[in-house]
Structure 1
Amino acid sequence: MKVLKFGGTSVGSSKNISNVISILDNYAKKDKVVCIVSAVGGITDKLLLAGKQAKNKDTSYIDTFNLIKDIHFNVINELNLEKSSSIVAFVDEKLNALKSLLDGIFLINELSPKTSDKLVSFGELLSSYIIAETMKNRGLSADSKNSQELIVTNSNFTKAEVDYAITNKNILAYFNSVNQQITVLPGFISKSKIGEQTTLGRGGSDFTAAIVAAALKVEQLEIWTDVSGMFTTNPKLVKQAYPIEKISYQEAMELSHFGAKVLYPPTVQPVLDLNIPIHIKNTLEPEAAGTVISNEEIISSSPVKGISNIGNIALLTLQGSGMIGIPGFSKRLFETLSQEKINIILITQASSEHSICLGIDENDAELAQTAIDATFENEIALHKIDPIIVEKDLSIIALVGDNMKNHQGISGKMFSTLGKNNINIRAIAQGASEKNISAVILQSDVKKALNTLHEQFFETKTKQLNIFITGVGNVGEKLVEQIKQQRKYLKDNLKINLRIAGLSNSRKMIFSEEGIDLTNWKEQLENGEQATLNGFFENTKALNLRNSIFVDVTANKDVAGLYEKYLRQSIGVVACNKIACSSDYENYKLLKRLSLKYNAPYLFETNVGAGLPIIDTLNNLIASGDKITSIHAVLSGSLNFVFNNFNDTTKFYDVVKQAAAEGYTEPDPRIDLSGVDVARKILILARESGVEMNLENIENTPFLSDSGMKSDSVDDFYQTLIKDEAHYQGLYASAKAKNCQLKYVAQFNDGKANVSLQEIPSDHPFYNLKGKDNIVMFYTQRYPEQPMIIKGAGAGADVTASGLFADIIRVGND
């Protein structure tokens, strides 16, 4: 004999009921089948709602009743049963009885647990009858049997305890005499020894199935639901979650207790001692393998079998110096909650005995607080303990696995993974069996926590990076295109799953939790919401995605001012904007400290030399114990381009215009030509060398004309270039007369730095620097005479974008 249970979703519509009947028909061709069914999807909740409304003298209980009635008759009509007068009469009779019960609740203004059990029983009684009659109508050998005539309990209403001796006897007697191939039983409902209607608790349809399976000692119990088994974690929150093929009874109970809704925990008990496997199957995908729960020893590559969570948790903390060394506090605390029938989900106590933390259902928090404060009223008045502390909006996440006890470092890996993503842990509990490690976190962090832990313990070491880019102009557009082009390569070769979750220009911004489709991102951005800098930050923060990185592709001071806020949220920062790193020294150091404190990378390689690995090389020298003695560099690709193309046959204005048009200068070319940009770069290198220095400490010798230095706008500046052409030709003529090249040079030596336009002789390494190239020479204790030289393109959208991309990849490889 086979025992199958179908949940509310499986029988939630006429189409799904037909799927169930098809499955049962296939089984019945080989063996007799017992089918336990839940109420039609959502009906139990509606019955409870109607009862609550009636109790509260809310006449809308009639509307809820009519909705329940309509749902059932719609199912009957869609199953072509409306012409059967006996079926319609039976359903009408039950619904009329339900209406009379609700009217009675309304009149007496009371809904006792006993009445509640009678109220909710209508759902399963109706669904089991309709399904059995549908099968008869389709020519199958089927009939229904009221479980209340088989399962006998005590009178503990809403969660009755089964009398197995009587119940097993009833089940065996009935099924030894049945002739039909398929017997449909309503789940969840039962009767007490004195004939009162009782229920087995929410989720009790699974329990009914386990009771029957154990009594009949079947080979396997099948639980059919709307998912293909128990998943590694909640698939609604983690897309990469997948079904667990095999799992132990203990693991299944742990996962179920901590929120895996596929299985109701007490279900396991009746079949546990008999070693009857439970097979979780999907009604909508009958061919899917599902999950088998058994006592079979399971060899798994991962010690963690699943990750689960319970939401709506309140954390109660009882603390005070008067608790230390005084016996009985825990006993009184637990007795108080027991008397109020409040279930404790999690317990943790400090070894100092100074505090006890309890996790309970948030709905019980106020009752618990009142009761506990009353119990310890005297100790609170004497200041021996504090009034109970209640924290809400929390959730419990749990790692579950039988083999975790045999693997060192699971707890450490769990907590460090959460910490790296700024997920604060409020309390921790781990049983001596080490099958479960639980942590209390904010409810708002659950999705990020589950995704982060699943990536750590179940995925092929692929790290997902969520990128938020501000400034998709010339460089930003190139970066987006490079990411689009290289995504598959990164995933296949570097195990980095890179997706852009936010984009912004000066006008519009867009966000997508699942990643923006890069095939038409420009059109999406054009139709996005109004962009603001703080709005972009708040959206990035609200999405709360793991491994988030803010990428600044602007030269905006206000954007740089937001780095602190991003880092404090454990959101990494990658920037080509030099303003933050060249700001006041204390702010520079603050950002560095925040990066370490919140484990949020702060990378700015493109601040100096675009895509050249200048800062990375410098950091490696310092980290290996070397010391910088001096730096000589040409750090402006734009200025190098200008002076490589300027001569006595060209005009300075035309060359600067060309540099701007090709994206080598900042939008305001005065930033480059005034030397401020180069001064910022050498300042950053000096700071990264370990020297405390500010921008005003750098000697900047300008080469621009007086009118150029004093210009009020970009347009005015360009006009001064035309007017002062003779000044610039004079600079060129002086260098040419000495057989020199004009190069804008930055120098750092003996704790001092300067930038200036210099005439470079032909025997100098800078002389032949072409195009927009940069060059940096590091003189160190290890390289005292022949410097370490880094040379290459130092300006341009493509190379700057590639430098930003390289920093993003560094985060992924961290």
Structure 2
Amino acid sequence: MAKDIKVAIIGVGGVGKAFVSQLSNYTKKNASTVSVSVVYIARSRAALISKDYSPLPLTAFVSEELDAAGTEPLSVPDLIQFLKASGSEAILIDNTSSIELANTYPDILSAGIHIATPNKKGFSSEEKLWNDIFAAAGNNGGSGGYVFHEATVGAGLPVLSTIRDLVDTGDEVTKVEGVFSGTMSFLFNEFAPVGASGAPKAFSDVVKVAKDAGYTEPDPRDDLNGLDVARKLTILARLSGLSIASPTSFPVQSLIPKPLESVSTSQEFMDGLPNYDSEIGLLADDAKKEGKVIRFVGSIDVPAKAVKVGLEKFDFSHPIAGLKGSDNIIAFYTKRYGDRALIVQGAGAGAEVTAMGVLSDVIKIIARIK
């Protein structure tokens, strides 16, 4: 008999749309073993609700249908009751970046509803929320719902599953180092490529190219402040066994010039950025004279309980120096692997690969449901 699963999806932006498409393909291919019915789809101000729990159609026009629905989203308590009343196992897909929704994860899990999400906020904010989430979850034998968040670090790359496997099998992680932001990877691979000759590009020009291509947030300061990388490092450090109060509790280097931190618009920031090209240009020149390049990285030294995010110099031969495009690279140094790191590398951003990471978590949950 096929397992009966009800699914609620919150967030149908780029990742959400890609997830809906991938989930539709998955359900068709696996219809003989699992019945997956999406019964609730919502964005911030509209929702599609299947009151009789029949499957909502998963089409490429979900966002347009939401706009036409005119139905207010359910509150989290009402959504919990709606899913519980179905009588089936239920999975909530949170494709948002909402801390407000993440704050309710313990209540959702305590109600026996499972969660799969790329939302970093719940796992990288205050440590109490992290503890409350996993105290409520059924991942470690508890009675709550399962929670998986592979796509919070490295999108579809197997970063979190790798570190969990290392720790769960008794290995000791000693150091984690890498490029954790597709945006920052692209910026520095373009700005300071290995073996480049001639005059270097202006950093502001590279930022403009990245912004125009959609690699940065609408306001590039949201990438250049380093907080996105700090959130990912917080998650990995906690999985490595470190107690991290928040992503602002360790050194995080911001690449936003001080005078531009408080300008009111993204355009003002972009207009002012060329005035500060010489500062970062000098760092790149100094590194080049040493046969090195600068890259924006995060690192975790587990024995020293030290986490930091910022610019570092790397020899031309180092794997981090040789990255291309917007790839991520994460190196795990452990007792078993010794000086030869276990490396995970590949596309660490993008709607399709992020949605893949979320769907892989859904599949993990389905496999655990009896």
Deviation at 1:782, TM superposition (A): 0.9
- Tell me the residue number matched to 2:66: 525
Task: Report the alpha carbon displacement of residue 736 of structure 1 after superposing the two structures with TM.
Answer: 3.5
Partner of residue 604, structure 1: 149
Residue type of the alignment partner of 2:49: F
| SS in structure 1 of the partner of residue 330 of structure 2 | strand
TM-score, scaled to structure 1: 0.41
Corresponding residue for residue 38 of structure 2: 500
Aligned-pair identity in percent equals: 31
**What residue number does 1:636 align with?**
181
User: What is the alpha-carbon distance in structure 2 between the residues aligned to residue 468 and residue 588 of structure 1?
Assistant: 22
Cα distance in structure 1, aligned partners of 2:164 and 2:4? 26
Residue 788 of structure 1 corresponds to 342
Cα distance per residue 1:261-318 (max 9 Å; x no partner): xxxxxxxxxxxxxxxxxxxxxxxxxxxxxxxxxxxxxxxxxxxxxxxxxxxxxxxxxx
What residue in structure 2 maps to residue 684 of structure 1? 235
Once the two structures are overlaid, the 10-residue window that deviates more, 481-490 or 619-628, is 481-490
Which aligned pairs between 1:417-428 and structure 2 lie closer than 5 A? none
Question: CA shift at 1:811, angstroms?
Answer: 0.7
Taking a change above 3 Å as real, the CA distance of residues 467 and 733 of structure 1, as seen in their structure-2 partners, is farther
**Aligned twin of 1:801:** 355
The secondary structure found in structure 2 opposite 1:524 is helix
1:524–1:760: structure 2 CA closer, same or farther, 3 Å change rule?
A: same
Distance 1:502 1:700, change over 3 A: same
Which secondary structure state, in structure 1, belongs to the residue aligned with residue 47 of structure 2? strand
State whether structure 2 residue 363 is matched by structure 1 residue 812.
Answer: no
AA of the residue aligned to 1:677: D
Matched, 1:485 2:25: yes
Q: CA 1:543–1:560 in structure 2 vs 1: closer, same or farther (change >3 Å)? A: closer
Higher relative contact order (CA 8 A, sep 6+): 2
CA distance in 2, matches of 1:470, 1:496: 22
Asked if 2 retains the 8 angstrom alpha-carbon contact of 1:468 and 1:540, the reply is no
Which residue matches 1:719? 271
Asked if 1:771 corresponds to 2:325, the answer is: yes
Partner of 1:516: 56
For residues 43 and 184 of structure 2, the distance between their equivalents in structure 1, rounded to whole angstroms, comes to: 27
How far the C-alpha of 1:496 sits from its partner, in A, is 3.0
Cα offset, 1:657, TM superposition? 4.4
- 1:469 aligned residue: 9
- How far does residue 590 in structure 1 lie from its aligned partner after superposition? 0.7
Q: Superposed, which structure 2 residues align to 1:150-165 within 5 Å?
A: none
The answer on 1:672 being equivalent to 2:223 is yes
Compared CA separation, residues 502 and 727, structure 1 to 2 (3 A): farther
How far apart, in 2, do the equivalents of 1:771 and 1:730 lie? 23
Conserved in 2, the CA contact under 8 Å of 1:637 and 1:793? Answer: yes
CA distance in 1, matches of 2:282, 2:149: 37
DSSP-derived class of the 1:697 partner: coil
The 1:656/1:801 distance shift into structure 2, 3 A limit, reads farther
Does residue 616 (structure 1) correspond to residue 161 (structure 2)? The answer is: yes
Alignment pair present for 1:626 and 2:171: yes
Residues 505, 585 of structure 1: alpha-carbon distance in 2 compared, 3 angstrom cutoff: same
Kindly provide the CA deviation profile for residues 570-611 of structure 1, in whole angstroms up to 9, marking residues without a partner as x: 111212111111111121011001013443111111111111
Give the direction of change, closer, same or farther, for the CA distance of 1:563–1:732 in structure 2 (3 Å limit).
same
Q: TM-score, normalised by structure 2?
A: 0.87
Question: What CA distance in whole angstroms lies between the structure 2 residues aligned with 1:531 and 1:611?
Answer: 32
The 3-state SS of whatever aligns with 2:242 is coil
Q: Contact (CA 8 Å) 1:468, 1:551: kept in 2 or not? A: yes
User: Any idea what the Cα deviations from partners look like across 1:140-171, whole Å, max 9, x if unmatched?
Assistant: xxxxxxxxxxxxxxxxxxxxxxxxxxxxxxxx
**Aligned counterpart in structure 2 of residue 571 of structure 1, from 102, 113, 117:** 113
Whole-angstrom distance in 2 between the partners of 1:735 and 1:708: 25
Deviation at 1:472, TM superposition (A): 0.9
* Contact 1:699/1:754 (<8 A) preserved: yes
Residues 474 and 797 of structure 1 are in contact (CA less than 8 Å); yes or no, is this contact kept in structure 2?
A: yes
For the residue of structure 1 that corresponds to 2:248, the secondary structure is helix
Who is 2:249 aligned against? 697
Q: Map Cα deviations across residues 192-220 of structure 1 (whole Å, 9 max, x no partner).
A: xxxxxxxxxxxxxxxxxxxxxxxxxxxxx
Partners of 1:670 and 1:752 in 2: CA distance = 25
| Amino acid in structure 2 at the alignment position of 1:780 | T
- CA–CA distance in structure 1, aligned partners of residues 218 and 362 of structure 2: 25
1:768 & 1:733 partners in 2: Cα distance?
18
1: CA distance, partners of 2:325 / 2:266: 24
Q: Distance in 1 between matches of 2:265 and 2:80?
A: 35
Contact 1:773 1:794 (C-alpha < 8 Å) held by counterparts:
yes
SS of equivalent to 2:243: coil
Distance 1:684 1:472 in 2: 24
Letter in 2 for 1:641: F
Q: How does 1:249-328 map to 2 (within 5 A)?
A: none
C-alpha distance after superposition, 1:436-485 (max 9, x if no partner)? xxxxxxxxxxxxxxxxxxxxxxx1xx223322222211111111111123
- Write the distance in 2 (CA, Å) between the matches of 1:485 and 1:717: 42
In structure 2, which of residues 84, 94, 101 is the aligned counterpart of residue 552 of structure 1?
Answer: 94
| d(CA) in 2 for partners of 1:576, 1:756 | 23
CA distance in 2, matches of 1:771, 1:574: 28
Deviations 1:44-97 (A, max 9, x none): xxxxxxxxxxxxxxxxxxxxxxxxxxxxxxxxxxxxxxxxxxxxxxxxxxxxxx
Give the superposition deviation at 1:498. 2.6
Counterparts of 2:338 and 2:248, CA distance in 1: 28
Question: Residue 802 of structure 1 aligns to a residue in which SS?
Answer: helix
> Cα gap change, 1:669/1:550 in structure 2, threshold over 3 Å: closer, same or farther?
farther
Shift of the 706–509 alpha-carbon distance from structure 1 to 2, 3 Å rule, reads same
Amino acid at match of 1:576: P
- For 2:43, give the aligned amino acid: N
Q: Report the CA distance shift for 1:643/1:612 in structure 2 as closer, same or farther (over 3 A).
A: same
> Within 1, Cα distance between the matches of 2:335 and 2:240?
13
Alignment partners' CA distance in 2, 1:720 and 1:560: 35
**Structure 1 residues 560 and 487: CA distance shift in structure 2, 3 A:** same
Deviation of residue 612 (structure 1)?
0.6
2:259 aligns to what? 707
Give the CA deviation at 1:667.
4.7
Q: Which residue of 2 aligns with 1:58?
A: none
CA apart distance, 1:751: 1.1
Q: Which segments of structure 1 move beyond 6 Å, counting only runs of 4 or more?
A: none
Answer yes or no: is the 8 Å Cα contact 1:747–1:754 preserved in 2: yes
1:669 maps to amino acid: P
Please tell me whether the aligned partners of residues 83 and 90 of structure 2 are also in contact (alpha carbons under 8 angstroms). Answer: no
CA contact (8 A) 1:575 1:804 kept: yes
| d(CA) in 2 for partners of 1:664, 1:486 | 29
CA positional deviation for 1:746: 0.9
Deviation at 1:487, TM superposition (A): 2.1
Q: Distance in 1 between matches of 2:135 and 2:213?
A: 37
Q: Which amino acid aligns with 2:360?
A: A
1:517 alignment partner AA? P
Q: What is residue 301 of structure 1 aligned with on the other side?
A: none
Which residue number in structure 2 is paired with residue 320 of structure 1? none
How many matched pairs? 351
Give the Cα separation in 2 of the matches to 1:715 and 1:565: 41
Partner of 1:748: helix, strand, or coil?
strand
1:607/1:795 Cα in 2 relative to 1: closer, same or farther (>3 Å)? same
Q: Deviations over 1:235-281 (max 9, x none)?
A: xxxxxxxxxxxxxxxxxxxxxxxxxxxxxxxxxxxxxxxxxxxxxxx
Q: What amino acid maps onto 1:776 in structure 2?
A: I
2:99 maps to amino acid: K
* 2:47 partner amino acid: M
